[in-house]
């Protein structure tokens, strides 16, 4: 795309874990997106979304969570869930410094949606709005078993296989790409699962009414990774005067990666344009 400015590099965090960050900025951007990816994946999987946003005139910052993708950190592990949130805040700060005066929007998917929601509560007034996709706001069914684990005594090396591939999308090409992607984690740490399935939802349950920012909540009606009731619960309990919920019948977890993705992305586009 003519006039595009692309940058890739490492961003140091408070504990010197470097995050891989990529920015794709149109020559005359009118808004900036910060994309926050989900469990076991990485920002590179959002190339199509990024290109569409660029065509709309939106700059995009993508980063890999610590322990994911091209970022540093023990694979599929986190010591404290809030580290994800504070890492996201660093990328938002970077985007704001490099694009003064432009509205900032955050797109959070799945675990990244949970991170985005906590960010929206802890860092008020920074963003012009947030878009949530398949976000894990509530405890999943697996939380019951995870609560039986003594995480204080659990070794960081304790892992379980990543079994999400078949459920990310109904598009077999997307599933194959996920399975064959060397940067998609093949195992997930149990401590990380405990953080996002137990501790993160518990924090949100206690603080959900403090969320009051503009938000668009998207979910696949056929999502078998995160129950659509998670989206309905969040929409019902937040204090936002400006909130919208869209549940797409039959679509799986990655609504932005289904064959109907252009319609979903256009819904995001329309929503954002009304808030700039």
What DSSP letter does each residue of 243-273 carry, written as one string? EEEEEETT--S-GGGSTTHHHHHHHHHHHHH
Residue 162 has pLDDT above 90, yes or no: yes
Q: Which pLDDT does position 49 carry in this prediction? A: 98
pTM score, whole prediction: 0.96
Residue 152 has pLDDT above 80, yes or no: no
Chain segment 201-244, per-residue pLDDT in tens: 999 999 999 999 999 999 999 999 999 999 999 999 999 999 99
Provide the CB-side half-sphere exposure for 23 (13 A, CA): 23
Other Cβ atoms within 10 Å of 190 Cβ, number? 20
Mean pLDDT of all residues in the chain?
96
Percent of the chain whose pLDDT exceeds 70: 99
Provide the CB-side half-sphere exposure for 53 (13 A, CA): 28
- End-to-end C-alpha distance for the chain, whole angstroms: 23
Residue whose C-alpha is closest to residue 222's, from 143, 134, 163: 134
Active site residue 110: yes
Percent of the chain whose pLDDT exceeds 90: 89
Catalytic annotation, pick one of 24, 64, 87, 223: 223
Number of domains observed in the structure of the chain = 1
Instruction: Tell me how far CA of residue 95 lies from CA of 8, 64, 202, in angstroms.
Output: 13, 15, 30
Residue 156 has pLDDT above 80, yes or no: no
Residue whose C-alpha is closest to residue 133's, from 260, 27, 241, 35: 35
User: What CATH number is given to the structural domain containing 153?
Assistant: 3.40.50.1820
CB of 32 within 8 A of CB of 56? no
Cα–Cα dist 76/184, whole Å = 10
Residue 148 pLDDT class (50, 70, 90 cuts): confident
Catalytic annotation, pick one of 37, 83, 109, 110: 110
Chain segment 53-103, per-residue pLDDT in tens: 999 999 999 999 999 999 999 999 998 999 999 999 999 999 999 999 999
Chain segment 109-120, per-residue pLDDT in tens: 999 999 999 999
Residue 150 pLDDT class (50, 70, 90 cuts): confident
Q: Which pLDDT does position 95 carry in this prediction? A: 98
Domain containing residue 85: 5-273
| 3-class SS letters over 182-206 | CCCCCEEEHHHHHHHHHHHHHHHHH
Residue 1 pLDDT class (50, 70, 90 cuts): low
Instruction: Tell me how far CA of residue 4 lies from CA of 11, 105, 213, 226, 247, in angstroms.
Output: 21, 19, 30, 35, 33
206: CB partners within 8 A, 6+ apart: none
Active site residue 223: yes
Maximum Cα interatomic distance, the chain, rounded to a whole number of Å: 54
């Amino acid at each position: 795309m003519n006039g595009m400015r692309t940058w890739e590099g490492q961003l140091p965090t408070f504990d010197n874990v470097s995050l891989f960050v990529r920015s794709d900025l149109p020559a005359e951007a009118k808004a900036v997106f910060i994309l926050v990816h989900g469990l076991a994946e990485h920002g590179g999987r959002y190339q199509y979304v990024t290109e569409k946003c660029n065509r709309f005139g939106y700059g995009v910052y993508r980063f890999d969570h610590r322990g994911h993708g091209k970022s540093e950190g023990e694979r599929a592990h986190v010591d404290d869930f809030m580290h994800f949130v504070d890492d996201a805040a660093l990328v938002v700060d970077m985007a704001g410094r490099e694009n003064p005066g432009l509205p900032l929007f955050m797109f959070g998917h799945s675990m990244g949606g949970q991170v985005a929601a906590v960010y929206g509560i802890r860092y008020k007034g920074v963003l012009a709005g947030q878009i949530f996709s398949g976000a894990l706001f509530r405890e999943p069914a697996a939380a019951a078993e995870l609560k039986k684990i003594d995480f204080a005594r659990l070794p960081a090396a304790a892992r379980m296989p990543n079994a999400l591939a078949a459920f990310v999308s109904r598009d077999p090409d997307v599933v194959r790409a996920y399975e064959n992607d060397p940067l998609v984690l093949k195992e997930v740490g149990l401590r990380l699962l405990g953080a996002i399935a137990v501790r993160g939802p518990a924090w949100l349950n206690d603080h959900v009414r403090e969320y009051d920012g503009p938000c668009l909540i998207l979910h696949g009606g056929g999502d078998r990774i995160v129950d659509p009731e998670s989206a309905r619960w969040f929409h019902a309990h937040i204090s936002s005067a400006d909130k919208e919920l869209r549940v797409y019948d039959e679509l799986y977890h990655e609504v932005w990666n289904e064959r109907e993705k252009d319609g979903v992305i256009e819904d995001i586009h329309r929503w954002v344009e009304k808030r700039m």
